[in-house]
Amino acid sequence: MSVSGTAAAGQIEHMLGQVTPGRYDAYEALLQALTDGRVWMLLWHGTAGAPDAQYGNMQVEGLGYAPCVTSAQELSASGWNRAHELVTGRDIARALFPDRWGIWLNPHAPGGGVGIPWLDLRRIATGLDRMPAGPLRLSEPAIEIPQFYAMLTQNAHRTPAVRSLRRAWVQPALGVPYLAIGLDLYDTGRPSVDAVRVMMQQSIGTVPDGLPVSTVSMSDEYDPVAMWLRANSRPFYDREAHAPAGGSPAAPGYGYPPSALR
């Protein structure tokens, strides 16, 4: 391995040693290190690069993970006697998250290692700064901003691409809470997306200063906020049904394991 590759592996192991339950800052730093670092994926069948190669797999609290180790030394310590594949964190994230598989770092280590759920692999694959840090706490918004909702509903009615709108209050593991608007569109082509962007720009001026607002596509089957909205909320604007918004319970950590793996 190159000097830079060795340094990256060392950074992963250093951050891995900092992760303890509740230390989301350390866990986030581990994700950063994984992005450009490399891991040794354990192959249950075949050899690296072969068409029949298959990663190992394990189930923890209902979620699937592919086991891996963080260095040649850890590979030796694990006692793994089958083949392995050396791959960057970003590349393995892109390969695994669409099938809802995570990775488990050093499962042989004292304490059992650390699991990275598929939702966090998705963040690695698409950019950690583009998505909120999980686990997320989601609920119906309690803040009263009727002027914003009225303006948004009015502008949505004038935007033919919009089928319905939903809302959620999102509390990331790190960072400030924000209001998420779920956009259900008839199509996601460029003209529709541009029209919806204008709709949001025309409405956002009625939001109180200091209140962050974000949007999420309801057609995104991998986004945890969209997943929660589909399962737990009703539209506050519905072009076809005009259904009023209803309350829904909070769902801590939605889309993540029910207890911390960190």
Tens of pLDDT, residues 88-106 = 999 999 999 999 999 999 9
User: Do the beta carbons of residue 171 and residue 137 sit within 8 Å?
Assistant: yes
Tens of pLDDT, residue by residue over 216-239, are 999 999 999 999 999 999 999 999
- 6 pLDDT more than 60: no
| Confidence band for 259, pLDDT divided at 50, 70 and 90 | very low
User: Do the beta carbons of residue 70 and residue 12 sit within 8 Å?
Assistant: yes
| Confidence band for 45, pLDDT divided at 50, 70 and 90 | very high
| Confidence band for 19, pLDDT divided at 50, 70 and 90 | very high
CATH number of 3-130: 3.40.1350.90
Q: What is the Rg, in whole angstroms, of the alpha carbon atoms belonging to the chain?
A: 21
What ranges do the domains of the chain cover?
A: 3-130, 137-252
Taking residues 39-54, report their average pLDDT: 92
Tens of pLDDT, residue by residue over 172-185, are 999 999 999 999 99
Residues 53 and 84: their CA atoms lie apart, in Å, by 9
| Confidence band for 241, pLDDT divided at 50, 70 and 90 | confident
Give per-residue burial for 108-140: e unless 16+ CB within 10 Å, then b: ebeeebbbbbbbbbbbbbeeeeebbbbbbbbbb
pTM here? 0.82
CATH class of residue range 137-252: alpha beta
Give the containing element (helix H, strand E) for 121: helix 118-126
